[in-house]
């Protein structure tokens, strides 16, 4: 499941345990990852400050990311709104997305001999750390409903 991205030497971690998922998570992101897991969205890795002022969460699928975005996003007018940072790419504090493709073939010899592949995609989202409180609030609201 989720783990910090190898940055544990820089960020303190805490154990997050929700249902079938358990991992050491950077302490600033731990409440957010907890709420993400409570709605059944799987994450792979995360970092509370991947670079200065920017957090990162890797979702195990595009569908997982889209579910997350649909929970936390509300249409709002204005340049410096969460909606604008998530959706439009023309702001200084915009969210950025990165698709990663990997082959997760079953590892059986016959798959390798037959040249079978099993591609899947994960998607990372990079966002301002200043957005964490509103994301947490909106996920908590969703989990109470």
Over the stretch 118-138, which tens digit does the pLDDT of each residue have?
Answer: 788 999 999 999 999 999 999
In the predicted model, is pLDDT for residue 68 greater than 60? yes
Secondary structure element (H or E) that encloses residue 63, with its range = helix 62-72
In the predicted model, is pLDDT for residue 83 greater than 60? yes
CB atoms within 10 A of CB 3: 17
Report the predicted TM-score, pTM, of the whole model to 2 decimal places. 0.84
pLDDT at 112 (0 to 100): 57
pLDDT at 2 (0 to 100): 60
pLDDT at 28 (0 to 100): 96
Q: Exposed e or buried b for every residue in 14-27, given b needs 16+ CB within 10 A? A: eebebeebebebbe
What is the domain extent for residue 80? Answer: 3-144
Is the separation of the CB atoms in 10 and 110 below 8 Å?
no
pLDDT in tens, 37-55: 999 999 999 999 999 999 9
pLDDT at 116 (0 to 100): 72
pLDDT confidence of 80, banded at 50, 70, 90? confident
pLDDT at 25 (0 to 100): 96
pLDDT confidence of 8, banded at 50, 70, 90? very low
Beta strand 43-51 with 13-18 is: unpaired
For the chain, how many structural domains are there in total?
1
In the predicted model, is pLDDT for residue 6 greater than 50? no
């Amino acid at each position: 499941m989720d783990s910090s991205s190898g940055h544990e030497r820089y960020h303190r971690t805490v154990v997050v345990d929700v249902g079938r998922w358990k991992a050491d998570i950077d302490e600033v992101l731990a409440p957010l990852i907890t709420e993400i897991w409570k709605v059944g969205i799987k994450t792979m890795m995360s970092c509370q400050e991947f670079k200065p002022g920017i957090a990162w969460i890797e979702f195990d699928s595009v569908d997982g990311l889209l579910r997350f975005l649909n929970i936390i996003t509300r249409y709002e007018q204005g340049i410096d709104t969460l909606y604008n940072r998530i959706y439009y790419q023309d702001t200084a504090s915009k969210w950025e997305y990165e698709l990663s493709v990997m082959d997760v073939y079953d590892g059986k010899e016959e798959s390798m001999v037959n040249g079978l592949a099993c591609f899947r995609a994960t998607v990372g989202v990079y966002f301002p750390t200043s957005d964490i409180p509103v994301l947490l609030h909106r996920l908590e609201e969703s989990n109470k409903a």
